[in-house]
Amino acid sequence: MHWVLTDGSRLRRGIERRQAHRCWCGRSRTRFARWEEAQRANQARCDGPRDSTPVSHARTLAPVSGNVHEATVLAITPLARGVVEWRFSLPAPLHFQPGQFISVRVGDDSDGNAILRSYSIASSPDRSEIAIILKLVEGGVGSAWFSALAIGERVRFTGPMGFFVLELSHPGDLVFAATGVGITPVLPMLEAALARTETGRIYLLWGNRDEADFFWRRELAELAHPRLQIRTFVSGRENPAQREAGRIVQPLLTLVPVLQRPTFYLVGNGAMIKDAKTSLVAAGMDRRRQIRVEAFFDS
């Protein structure tokens, strides 16, 4: 009897262990599925025109698969060399924070899984139309899909998503450092920042390789404000008189001594972001409290 009880006890313990194991595995599978879904969203983000991506913010993004919208292509406008704006009309205004992005299904892979690309919203919130801007890349899945779109066609997207947005308040100055089409989310962020009652200075440093890569000249000029200073840079061989020469990281660092309790928003090329963030931290800036990043990649 003792052995029966012992075996029964062991059996019960074994059953309990197996049940606990199944429960744990179930939780693990659920967690893994959530992790995998988040990773797919993040990978899509990394493969997108920009990576909100190696962006620490993007790594924490939760999928917003239920937040699906439909839009109609309203206008397609070339802006610069290989840079095109797509503007869409919406059945209702889209509520989002400047700096956020949408995710678009641009095809399916060989296994029938959705291929997603994510794009920063280049227009202001709460309007019945939105705009996104792409740097077209030969062979890019997203580039090919968008290039095939015609005015009047309908597009489905999820969003808005993303944490590369303005802080609820800023204790001092703001510095935006952008390269290439990384400027895309910055314009609506600047509009929102200037509309606040904050008194800190705002700096924009925007770098491109060549003059042919610049766009939004009128839009940036219309932002003119006593608090705002805009500087543009060309890193290629040609250096037009209206641009400063070189990359933006060193000019960014030269600002540090004159800034008051600054917050930095770095967006664009991943290499620039890494270099700028490392240099700013070495200059005494707090990586977590003072630096926000959003990296872009071609698609």
Position 117 confidence tier, pLDDT thresholds 50, 70, 90: very high
Name which of 16-25, 138-147, 198-207 the model is least confident about. 16-25
Please determine, for residue 216, whether its predicted confidence score (pLDDT) is greater than 50: yes
Phi/psi at 38 (nearest 5 deg)? -65, -40
Q: Contact 72/153 with Cβ under 8 angstroms?
A: yes
Q: What is the pLDDT of residue 237?
A: 78
Position 195 confidence tier, pLDDT thresholds 50, 70, 90: very high
Task: Give, in order, the Cα–Cα distances in Å from 157 to each of 60, 65, 111.
Answer: 20, 9, 21
Please determine, for residue 227, whether its predicted confidence score (pLDDT) is greater than 80: yes
Distance CA 276, CA 293 (A): 10
Please determine, for residue 44, whether its predicted confidence score (pLDDT) is greater than 50: no
Q: Looking at the DSSP assignment, which residues form a beta bridge with residue 135?
A: 83
Q: Contact 296/54 with Cβ under 8 angstroms?
A: no
Please determine, for residue 193, whether its predicted confidence score (pLDDT) is greater than 60: yes
Question: Considering the chain, what percentage of its residues have pLDDT values greater than 70?
Answer: 77
Angle at 269 between CA 205 and CA 109, to 5 degrees: 145
Q: What is the pLDDT of residue 42?
A: 46
Q: What is the pLDDT of residue 86?
A: 98
Q: What is the pLDDT of residue 121?
A: 97
What number is the average pLDDT over the span 124-140? 94
pLDDT in tens, 164-181: 999 999 999 999 999 999
Angle at 288 between CA 285 and CA 289, to 5 degrees: 70
Q: What structural domains and CATH numbers belong to the chain?
A: 174-296 (3.40.50.80)
Question: Considering the chain, what percentage of its residues have pLDDT values greater than 90?
Answer: 70
Q: Contact 190/219 with Cβ under 8 angstroms?
A: no
Q: Contact 89/71 with Cβ under 8 angstroms?
A: yes
What number is the average pLDDT over the span 221-235? 96
- Chain position carrying tokens 């993004």: 61
Position 67 confidence tier, pLDDT thresholds 50, 70, 90: confident
To which H or E segment does residue 88 belong? strand 83-89
Q: What is the pLDDT of residue 240?
A: 73
What number is the average pLDDT over the span 258-277? 96
Q: Looking at the DSSP assignment, which residues form a beta bridge with residue 229?
A: 203
What number is the average pLDDT over the span 52-63? 39
To which H or E segment does residue 81 belong? none
Q: What is the pLDDT of residue 202?
A: 98
Please determine, for residue 50, whether its predicted confidence score (pLDDT) is greater than 80: no
Question: Mean pLDDT of all residues in the chain?
Answer: 82
Token pair in block for residue 299? 């698609």
Q: What is the pLDDT of residue 238?
A: 76
Distance CA 242, CA 277 (A): 27
Q: What is the pLDDT of residue 298?
A: 66
Please determine, for residue 163, whether its predicted confidence score (pLDDT) is greater than 60: yes
Please determine, for residue 59, whether its predicted confidence score (pLDDT) is greater than 50: no
Distance CA 189, CA 203 (A): 12
Task: Give, in order, the Cα–Cα distances in Å from 47 to each of 81, 103, 207.
Answer: 21, 11, 22
Q: Looking at the DSSP assignment, which residues form a beta bridge with residue 85?
A: 77, 133
Listed residue (102, 208, 201) closest to 156, CA to CA: 102
β-strands 154-161, 101-108 pairing? antiparallel
Angle at 138 between CA 189 and CA 81, to 5 degrees: 50
Q: What is the pLDDT of residue 37?
A: 53
Distance CA 71, CA 77 (A): 17
How many Cα neighbours within 13 Å face the side chain of 126? 2
β-strands 114-120, 101-108 pairing? antiparallel
Please determine, for residue 53, whether its predicted confidence score (pLDDT) is greater than 70: no
Write down the pTM of the prediction. Answer: 0.77
How many Cα neighbours within 13 Å face the side chain of 96? 32
3-state secondary structure of 1: coil
